[in-house]
Chain A
């Protein structure tokens, strides 16, 4: 056999094996993730979590998010649009998974803002001003604090609430649930308890639409 044929065949063999192994591995992972979310269905949603949209909607998106995460920021308007496009049918449960350094302080501020009924506004501001309070992937809580002007927040109460044991307990529980469900990247989505295994806008939209079709 000619050597260039042998070499070309070997190259194709390697690429083919890689593609095959990747497909197989991803399929296996998807099955594992689906099993993990089925086995731990109670961990997907908790009563304490922030919820947006109609409470009686039959399709619930659960998003594990980190306000310091750029992809979460990019997905936020998309998820809102999904809710607007299907009025009354979809709501969103937001759960904390602060993976960036110091991001846990930012999510405690978010959680504390709920007690003043300013969660959506505070989260909107957090995403909107992201570049001003993140430096080299590290969240700067002091700088974030400065961005909160004009939201009608009682800053003293906010400061007290963000240090409360209940706030810490909720964030810890969210993070433990994420671990139990094998969510180690943000945003992590579940739609009616079903895990979004292949990540992407279209994939999320498809999953939401299939759940709408099944429930309405």
Chain B
């Protein structure tokens, strides 16, 4: 590969991780807006999804500025190793939450406390977008981009 091509590849990789960071930031601020401003109390499963996406907003940011490469467009080469596990676990919780939300998994099996049901409909945007769905979108987006990044960096 010529130097130009390496540069373009690096730039594209950087943009992939940058978008991951944007998604995590949107999830962070979006969820904080819903709980702190709108006063929607997060249910137990929401908390588990927060646990895994909040650190991603920081990890991606750090990964975008690897040690000794603050100038170029290099990304921390091992970023997938420590962000993908978090994203996958969070994605699992998001899927489980959606299954409860759409009553595919029965209510009795859900681990929520009685006063705060995870199946309760708190927010609907444009008639069909809800909180578990937003969570699945965010996690799936991050996982997808990380897999693309990994595939490219192995080439």
Q: Is B65 an interface residue (CB 8 A)?
A: yes
For chain B, what secondary structure do more than half of its interface residues adopt (helix, strand, loop), or is it mixed?
A: helix
B1-43 contacts to A, CB under 8 A, are: 14, 18, 21-22, 25-26, 29, 32-33, 37-38
Nearest-Cβ distance from residue B4 to partner chain A, whole angstroms: 18
Q: Is A201 an interface residue (CB 8 A)?
A: no
Q: Is B99 an interface residue (CB 8 A)?
A: no
Distance of A23 Cα from B4 Cα, bound (Å) = 47
Nearest-Cβ distance from residue B63 to partner chain A, whole angstroms: 11
Nearest-Cβ distance from residue B88 to partner chain A, whole angstroms: 25
Residues of chain A contacted by B18 (CB below 8 angstroms)? 3, 6-7
Asked whether, in the complex, the Cβ of A17 is within 8 Å of the Cβ of B29, the reply is yes
Given contacts A3-B64, A7-B64, contact A26 B25 (CB under 8 A): no
Nearest-Cβ distance from residue A31 to partner chain B, whole angstroms: 15
Q: Is A41 an interface residue (CB 8 A)?
A: no
Residues of chain B contacted by A21 (CB below 8 angstroms)? 33, 37
Residues of chain A contacted by B64 (CB below 8 angstroms)? 3, 7
Asked whether, in the complex, the Cβ of A14 is within 8 Å of the Cβ of B32, the reply is no
Asked whether, in the complex, the Cβ of A22 is within 8 Å of the Cβ of B26, the reply is no
For chain A, what secondary structure do more than half of its interface residues adopt (helix, strand, loop), or is it mixed?
A: helix
- Give the residue of A3, A10, A18 whose beta carbon is less than 8 angstroms from that of B22: A10
Residues of chain B contacted by A14 (CB below 8 angstroms)? 25-26, 29
Map CB proximity to B onto A8-47 as digits: 1 under 8 Å, 0 otherwise.
0011001101100110011000000000000000000000
Asked whether, in the complex, the Cβ of A22 is within 8 Å of the Cβ of B37, the reply is yes
Asked whether, in the complex, the Cβ of B25 is within 8 Å of the Cβ of A10, the reply is yes
Asked whether, in the complex, the Cβ of A3 is within 8 Å of the Cβ of B37, the reply is no
On chain A, the number of residues with a Cβ less than 8 Å from chain B's Cβ atoms is: 14
Asked whether, in the complex, the Cβ of B61 is within 8 Å of the Cβ of A3, the reply is no
Asked whether, in the complex, the Cβ of B61 is within 8 Å of the Cβ of A18, the reply is no
Distance of A18 Cα from B61 Cα, bound (Å) = 19
Residues of chain A contacted by B25 (CB below 8 angstroms)? 10-11, 14
Nearest-Cβ distance from residue A87 to partner chain B, whole angstroms: 38
Q: Is A4 an interface residue (CB 8 A)?
A: yes
Q: Which residue of B lies closest to A10 (CB)?
A: B22
Given contacts A3-B64, A4-B65, contact A25 B37 (CB under 8 A): yes
Residues of chain B contacted by A17 (CB below 8 angstroms)? 29
Distance of A6 Cα from B33 Cα, bound (Å) = 23
- Give the residue of B26, B33, B73 whose beta carbon is less than 8 angstroms from that of A3: B73
Q: Which residue of B lies closest to A23 (CB)?
A: B37
Q: Is B103 an interface residue (CB 8 A)?
A: no
Residues of chain A contacted by B38 (CB below 8 angstroms)? 25
Map CB proximity to B onto A100-125 as digits: 1 under 8 Å, 0 otherwise.
00000000000000000000000000
Residues of chain A contacted by B37 (CB below 8 angstroms)? 21-22, 25-26
Map CB proximity to A onto B49-90 as digits: 1 under 8 Å, 0 otherwise.
000000000000100110000100100000000000000000
Nearest-Cβ distance from residue B48 to partner chain A, whole angstroms: 23
Known A-B contacts: A7-B64, A22-B37. Give 20 more (CB < 8 A): A3-B14, A3-B18, A3-B64, A3-B73, A4-B70, A6-B18, A7-B18, A7-B21, A7-B61, A7-B65, A10-B21, A10-B25, A15-B29, A17-B29, A18-B29, A18-B32, A21-B33, A25-B37, A25-B38, A26-B37
